[in-house]
Structures are given as structure tokens and as C-alpha cells.
Amino acid sequence: MADDFDYVIVGAGTAGCVVASRLSEDAGVRVLLLEAGGSDRTLWIQLPIGYGRTYFDASVNWMYDSEAEPALNGRQSYWPRGKVIGGSGSINAMVHVRGRPEDFDDWRDLGNPGWGFDDVLPFFKRSEDFDGPASDWRATGGPQHVTDITDRAHPLCRVFVETGQALGFAESRDFNGPEGEGVGIYQINTRGGLRASTANAYLRPAMKRGNLSLVTRARATRILFEGGRAVGVEYDRGGVRAVVRAKREVVLCGGAVATPQLLQLSGVGDGAHLQSLGLETVRHAPAVGRNLQDHLAVSYFYRSKRPTLNDDLRPLTGKILAGLRYLIDRGGPLSLSVNQGGGFIRSRPELTRPDLQLYFSPVSYTQTPLSERRLLNPDPFSAFLLSFNACRPTSRGEIAIRSADPFAAPTIRPNYLSTDQDVADAVAGTRLLRRIAATAPLCDIITDELVPGRHLQTDAELLADFRDRADTVYHPVSTCRMGPEAATAVVDARLRVHGIGGLRIVDASVFPTLTSGNTNAPTVMVAEKGADMIRADARGDAPA
């Protein structure tokens, strides 16, 4: 393998697979994709419900822990991140949510022209192959399949939707369509009963091209600079250091944790922090690692009169039947996520947009600690869970390297519940879960609130429980945010790192703000749009 490529991409995760595929469509360029993890061709990654196993599998998961969080009573938060081809999109729950249109108009209005909803919609459509109802907002024929599971979701999901309607919430038949507010069934990224990650949808077909090379088990340790320009990457593979050069650009696709980590290791970050660790400052960029945002959720568990997925997946006979069903037609519970129902609603009618995201999962895990939970071993009785998170938290955290050692995990400080607004949203969300559970038809099938228990009633008690049990839903973004000013942002609206030539970031770390929902689909969009920008700049036809 030659040492020089036109583009060197760091990270074969959700975004990196897309960028590598799109850049390699130009036959005249040579593209190298570096991935710290290994192959995604394993049963538990490709089987949709297998994410319950990879959740704690160190062979495919970085398995980070945050620092102790003061607002969560000093608890650490467990942060799984994909260490495998496909990245976190190979170990996530596959829920496909773009976010609200207003989210992207917010991005534009923060000084990022070209990122309003009308601007990004074509890239959402370019990426997808949707098998649900057609609309001007949806598309078919794209690389990544989006499955409408409305007719396959567990029957209790319908009870949840009807309960939401009884509370005055609309039913949304497509959270990614023009009527995305309300309660309904989530779409998922699967194709033919298998996970439709960007590794499967984008990278694997692109690897047939002779101009795309992939190196796995390659841990990027440093970006190389010459005269204020990124010219290559140093990486470690099996204890051997290697260097590869980029004639056009280095593109970072490591995600919200790894991208700021690599920048700081390379001398791009807050100069005082880098100096304290003995690192030379290539560029003082104080925004690197700052502005961390994440969704914080809590679950309430209810015992049910009617069967749930617990009854299907807990008994040995149920596992056997589910396996046989999957072998016959790749259908049944093994072909789905357990995150099936949910919605985007307003906690107060005077709000102009949804502020809470809901989850309804017809399954429960109350008798095993978090570290031992497996989706195929739920509670031995009929039960389900309700969850929520605030759509747009206002707390801001930070990710920072703790030493000059490239193999040391960075410090992760989410700084949850550090604003009055986030505390108020926590109370409003818990109150809403209780309202849902107390409303027919859902209340008619509930026999008991297992966790936290009905003895907790006051706002103070519910907030205390939230602090005891709430945790991330794995949506970290914005640690290399997009914006016009280098003092407060890391990349410009074309995803170029401020003040450095030949270096671009294309992943969830560039989100100016957290979107109202799951982050995988908007990450794919950013990758599609980012790759389009890179190609346009190379052709010389980018806007002035």
C-alpha cells in the first residue's frame, strides 16, 4: 500500500463509512480509511436485537465511563461507543430519527449558512431507502434502508399510542415526515432482518472500488502538520507506528469523543491545557472538546396484565421459537429493536415545539444490574417500560485528554442538570410518565409501578429519583461544533477546521446543537453533506 493518498479518513464509524463511499465515487482519487476497531461481520452486530450483547463487549466497544457527575449524586455514566467498522451505528438500537426541522433552522441561525432544514433535507433523502408511505420528505433508492415496523411492533405499542391520543397528543405515522409531532412507532435501520448500518449500506459496496483502502486495528495517534496545514496521520497497528500522508485533506470522523481527543493529542486545543500535559500547541483552539451535549433519560417500569416481550424472550421455549421464526423469514422479535414506540410531545401546550422525547418498550429489566442485562433475558414476568428525555438540554459539558498518552481514555464531563431549565424538564418528564401510566387504556393493563414505585409522589421525590437513576441515551454531540467564530467553534460551515488547512471534521461532533431525537440519522446526513462539500471544493465549484 502506497503511503500517499488524496484523502485520509480517520474513523470507519457512521460518518466515516459514508464519507469514504462518497469520496471514492471519484475514480481519480485514492482514499484511505483508518479504523481502530475490527470487523463488524459478527452475529451479534448483524442480528438486530444483538445490540444487547455488544453493549458490554470490549472487543467492539470503547466502554467509556464519565467522571463522577455531581447532579447524578456522584455517579459515573457508562458511555458505550463503537470500536468496530460501522462505529456506534454497529452497536446502537437502530432507531431512525432525523430530528425536528426547527433543529436545523437553529443551526443555520447560529451562523451556519446552508444548514437550515430546506438545505439538509436533500441529503437526508439522498441517504435513505424508505419502505413506508411516500411523501415529499422521504425517498427510496438510497444506500441505507429505513424500515417501517408499524405492522410488526408489539401489540402493546398500540395501547401506548391510543393512550397518548387520549391525552390529546396526535398520532404520528412518520416521525421523519411533515407530521412528525405526536406519538407513534419508531422506524429502524434494518434491511431484510439484518442491521442496515452505514458499514453495510455504504462501505461494503464501495470496497469493490480499487481506489478505496481500509486498514483496521489502526489507532490514529497524531495528525501531522506542515506550515499550518494537515498533511497526514500517524497511527499504531499492533504496536507498530506508521505514517500515511494526505495530498488533499485529512478528514476526521471519530465522533464526539474520539475526534476532540485526537485533535488535542495533535496539539489543537486549549493551549494552557495542552501545555500542562507537555504537548506543543499547534493551534490554540479553546472550543475543542467544549460544548458537549447529550440526552439524559430515565425509565419507569410497570407490571402488565397482558403479555409483553418478556413472555416471548425469557423462556427457553420462547427463545427457540423466536430463533426458528428468524431462520424461516428473518422476522419476529429478533429482527427488531425493543425501542418500538415513542414520540415527540410538548409538556405544556403553550410551547411552540416538542420539548420531550418518549420511549415505550414492551420489555423490562428490573431484577438484574445494568452490567448484566441482555435483551434475550428480560424479567420473568409481564412488564414494560416508559422513558423520556428532554429534546434540547441546555447543560454543556466537556471532553479532554488526561495525558499525552494516545491510548488513555479522555475525561468525559457531561455536566448534566447544570441549568434550571434542565432540572425543570426532568420534573416535567417524570410527571408526564406518571400521567401516561394513569390514563386509559394503558392504566387498565397496569398492575403495579415496579420502579421507582408509587410511594414517590412529590416533585422533590421524583427529582431525587431522577438523580439516582437517570443516565445517557448515548447521543453525545457538539464537541467540535460548527460556527463562524474560532473562539467558540472548531469548524466553519464547510466543516473546515478554523485556522488549519487540509483538515476537516465530518461527524456528530460538529453539530452546533443537539437535535431533538436519536443522532444516527442526522450524523449520516452530515456525512452526506460533508462529502459533497469536500468533492465540490476539490472541483473548485464551491460557493465563494
Task: Report if residue 486 sits inside a domain.
Answer: yes
Overall pTM surpassing 0.95 (yes/no): yes
Find, among 314, 319, 318, 265, the residue nearest to 288 by Cα.
265
Residue 544 lies in a domain: no
Does residue 62 lie in a domain region? yes
Buried b (16+ CB within 10 A) or exposed e, 192-209: ebebbbbbbbbbbebbee
Q: Is the per-residue pLDDT at 371 higher than 80?
A: no
Rounded-to-integer distance, Cα 261 and Cα 133, Å? 42
Predicted pLDDT of residue 366: 87
Q: What is the pLDDT of residues 17-66, one digit of tens each?
A: 999 999 999 999 999 999 999 999 999 999 999 988 898 999 999 999 99
For residues 398 and 347, give the distance between their C-alpha atoms in angstroms, rounded to a whole number.
29
What is the reported pLDDT for 1? 43
Sign of CA dihedral 455, 458, 461, 464: positive
**How many whole angstroms separate alpha carbon 28 and alpha carbon 538?**
12
Percent of the chain residues topping a pLDDT of 90 = 90
- Residue 330 to residue 129: CA distance in whole angstroms: 19
* CATH number of the domain enclosing 356: 3.50.50.60
Average of pLDDT values for 263-281?
Answer: 98
If one counts the domains in the chain, the total is 1
Query: Residue 371's CB: how many other CB atoms inside 10 A?
Result: 8
Q: Three-state SS for 111?
A: coil
Lowest mean pLDDT among 158-172, 311-325, 406-420: 311-325
Q: Which residue would you say has higher pLDDT here, 329 or 121?
A: 121
Q: Is residue 367 part of a domain?
A: yes
Q: Write phi, then psi, for 450 (nearest 5 degrees).
A: -75, -45
DSSP letter for 501, please. B
483 lies in a domain?
yes
Closest by Cα among 249, 265, 246, 267 to 257: 265
Tell me the pLDDT tens digit for each residue of 280-308.
999 999 999 999 999 999 999 999 999 99
Q: How would residue 417 be classed by pLDDT, with cut points 50, 70 and 90?
A: very high
Q: Which domain holds residue 526?
A: 4-539
CA 388, 391, 397, 403: dihedral to nearest 10 degrees? 70
Is residue 111, in this structure, part of any structural domain at all?
yes
Residue 532 lies in a domain: yes
Residues annotated as catalytic (active site), given as ranges: 475
pLDDT single digits (tens) 428-484:
999 999 999 999 999 999 999 999 999 999 999 999 999 999 999 999 999 999 999
Task: Specify if 317 maps to a domain.
Answer: yes
